[in-house]
Chain A
C-alpha cells in the first residue's frame, strides 16, 4: 500500500534539536537491577535523554510483549534500570499482553515475573487488549481495566488523559463513547492507545485503513497530538500525519526482525532489530520520549510539541 509522503514539519526539527541538547547532559546515575541478570553494561547508566523534571508525568509504553521468553525478561530488566534513573509511575500497554492462553501460570510467566521489579515499586499498568488477548483480561486487577475493554483515566500528574481503546471491536457504542469522552475532556493532552496501528510500516500487518477512517477524524477534531499502538512487532515513529505523531510499539517481546516496509514513505524512525519500549515524559506542552532497547541503547529520542486548537 502506498501512502503519500508528508513533510516532517516542525515537530521533527524540534525533536532533532532536543536530542542534541539533551544528549550533552546525561541524568544522574542510580543503577539497580532485579529479575534476570542483565548483560554486562547493566552496571553503567543508561544514556537517557529525558529532562526528568520532578513535576513531570513519567510513563512507559510497551506492546506485544507477553511471550514469556528470555528477550521479554531482558527488556523487563531494562525497564527496571530505566525506572531507577527515570522514576515513571505508570505503564500503558498496547495489547497482546499474554500470548497463547490465559491460564494463571501464563500471567505469572508472561507478566508478573518479568515486570516484578516494576510491580513491586508500585508502577501501575493500564492495559489495552490485542487480538491475542482474552477479553477476560479486563478483570485482571494488575491491568487496572475495571472490567472494561475500553476506558479512560486521568494521569496522576500534568494535564493528561489517556484513552484505552478496544481496536478489534470498534462498534458504534465504543465510537460514540470515544467521541463523547474526547469532547468532554478538558485536559491539554488527550492520549489514545490501542492495539491496531492506523499507520505502520510493519510488513506483516501495516496500516489498518478502516480503523484509520473511523478514528483519525475524531483524533483530528478533538486535538489529539500523539497516538500509541502495536500489533506490528517493530518499533516505529511515524512522521506527523496532519499534526499527529503515531508510534508503533509492538516491539516489547515478540520481535519480527527486519519486518519493515521501507516504501511507505511515512517512517520517521523504525527499528526491527531489537526489543524496545518507550519511556515518556510530559511536561507542560512538551512530550519527551526515549525508545530503549533490550541491550540498553536509546534507539530513538525526541520531543513533541502539543498540538493546539
Chain B
C-alpha cells in the first residue's frame, strides 16, 4: 500500500473513530453524574449518622463510665440511662430524619444491586432465615427486647456506606434499621429495603 493510499484509508476511518470516541465519552458522561450523586448521598447520610454519634458521645460523657469488665446490672443500668438521655434529646425525632427519601432510594439501589447479582438468591436466603419479620418498630425507641437480629451478609455490608463504631444496619422484615448497639435504640429505619 502506498503512503497516499494509507492516508486515504486512515482519513476514511477517522469519522468512525470520532463517533466511537464520542459514544464512549457519552457513556462516561452518563455514568459520572450517578456515581457523583451516589457519593454525595452517601456523604449526606453519614453526616447525619455522625451527628447522631456525636450526640450519643456527648450524652454518654455525662454518665458514670461503664466499667470495662462489667456486671449485667452495670451493663443494664448504663444502657438504660443512655437510652433515656438520647430519647429525651431526640424527642422530636421521626422516621426519615437520618434516612431521607433520596438516601433511602440510594440504599435501595445498593441493596438491590447485590440481590440481583449472581449470589443474590443465597444472600436473600441468609437474610430471611433469621429475620423476625413483621414486628412493630418505632424510631428513637428501644429495639424490642429479646428479638433476634438478622444476619447482614458481607456483600450487602460491602455495598452500603460504612457506619461508625457501635452503629449497625439490621433488617427487620423488609425494613432496614439503623441500630445504636450501646443504647439498643432504633435510630431510624426505612421500609421496602429488600426489593423483590
Q: Which residues of A contact B (CB under 8 A)?
A: 99-104, 106-108, 131-132, 134-136, 139-141, 146-147, 167-173, 175, 196, 205, 208-211, 213-214
Residue of A108, A134, A167, A210 touching B123 (CB-CB under 8 A): A210
Residues in chain B near residue A172, CB distance under 8 A: 154, 157-158, 162
Q: List the interface of chain B (C-beta within 8 A of A).
A: 66-73, 75-76, 79, 119, 122-123, 125-126, 129-130, 145-146, 148-155, 157-158, 162, 168, 181-182, 184
Is the pair A168, B149 in contact by a Cβ cutoff of 8 Å? yes
- Jot down 8 A-B pairs with beta carbons below 8 A, ordered by A: A100-B146, A131-B151, A139-B69, A173-B162, A208-B126, A210-B123, A211-B126, A211-B154
- Contact, CB under 8 Å: A146 / B155: no
> A residues within 8 A CB of B66?
139
- Please name all residues of chain B whose beta carbon is closer than 8 Å to the beta carbon of A211 when the two chains form the complex: 126, 151, 153-154
| Most A Cβ at <10 Å: residue of B71, B76, B151 | B151
| Distance between B164 CB and nearest chain A CB, rounded to angstroms | 11
Q: How far is the CA of A210 from the CA of B152 in the complex (A)?
A: 10
Q: Which of B68, B76, B151, B158 contacts A146 (CB 8 A)?
A: B68
A101 x B72 contact (CB < 8 A): no
Residues of B within 8 A of A175 (CB): 154
The CA-CA distance from A139 to B166 in the complex, in Å, is 13
Query: With A and B bound together, what is the CA distance between A147 and B75 in angstroms?
Result: 11
Whole-angstrom CA separation of A167 from B152 in the bound complex: 9
Q: How far is the CB of B69 from chain A (nearest CB, A)?
A: 4
A104–B76 touching, CB < 8 Å: yes
A205 to B184, CA, bound (A): 26
Given contacts A106-B72, A140-B70, 11 further A-B contacts (CB under 8 A): A103-B72, A104-B73, A108-B72, A132-B148, A139-B70, A141-B69, A170-B154, A171-B158, A172-B154, A211-B153, A211-B154
| Cα distance A107–B158 in the bound complex, in angstroms | 34
Q: How far is the CB of A190 from chain B (nearest CB, A)?
A: 20
For the complex, give the distance between the alpha carbons of A107 and B70 in Å.
12
Of A136, A141, A171, A209, which one neighbours B122 at CB under 8 angstroms?
A: A209
Once the chains are docked, how many angstroms separate the CA of A175 from the CA of B122?
19
- Complex interface: chain A residues within 8 A of B150 (CB): 131, 168
Pick from B71, B149, B153, B184: contact of A210, CB below 8 A: B153
A104 and B157 in contact, given A131-B149, A168-B152, A208-B151 (Cβ under 8 angstroms) = no
Tell me the complex Cα distance, A100–B145, Å: 7
Q: In the complex, which of the residues B67, B75, B152 has the most CB atoms of chain A within 10 Å of its own CB atom?
A: B75
Q: Is the CB of B122 within 8 A of A210?
A: yes
Partner of A131, one of B72, B79, B130, B181: B130
CA A205 – CA B129 in complex, angstroms? 7
In the bound complex, CA of A196 to CA of B125 (Å): 14
Q: Which residue of A lies closest to B182 (CB)?
A: A136
- For the complex, give the distance between the alpha carbons of A147 and B74 in Å: 13
The docked-state distance in angstroms from the alpha carbon of A101 to that of B150 is 16
How far apart sit A211 and B127, CA to CA, in the bound complex (Å)? 11
How many Å lie between the Cα of A65 and that of B73 in the bound state? 21
CA distance A205 to B130 in the complex (A): 9
Within the assembled complex, what's the spacing in Å between the Cα atoms of A141 and B100?
A: 39
Q: In the assembled complex, which residues on chain A have CB atoms less than 8 Å from the CB atom of B125?
A: 209
Contacts of A173 in B (CB 8 A): 162
Please, which residues of chain A bring their CB within 8 A of the CB of B152?
A: 168-171
A213 to B125 alpha-carbon distance, docked (Å) = 14
How far in angstroms is the closest Cβ of chain B from A188? Answer: 28
B158 to chain A, nearest CB (A): 5
Question: Bound complex: CA of A23 vs CA of B48, how far in Å?
Answer: 63
In the assembled complex, the CB of A145 is this many whole angstroms from the nearest CB of chain B, namely: 9
- Among candidates B119, B123, B129, B162, residue contacting A171 with C-beta atoms closer than 8 Å: B162
A213 touches B70 (CB 8 A): no
A172 to B163, CA, bound (A): 11
Residues of B with C-beta under 8 A to A131: 130, 148-151
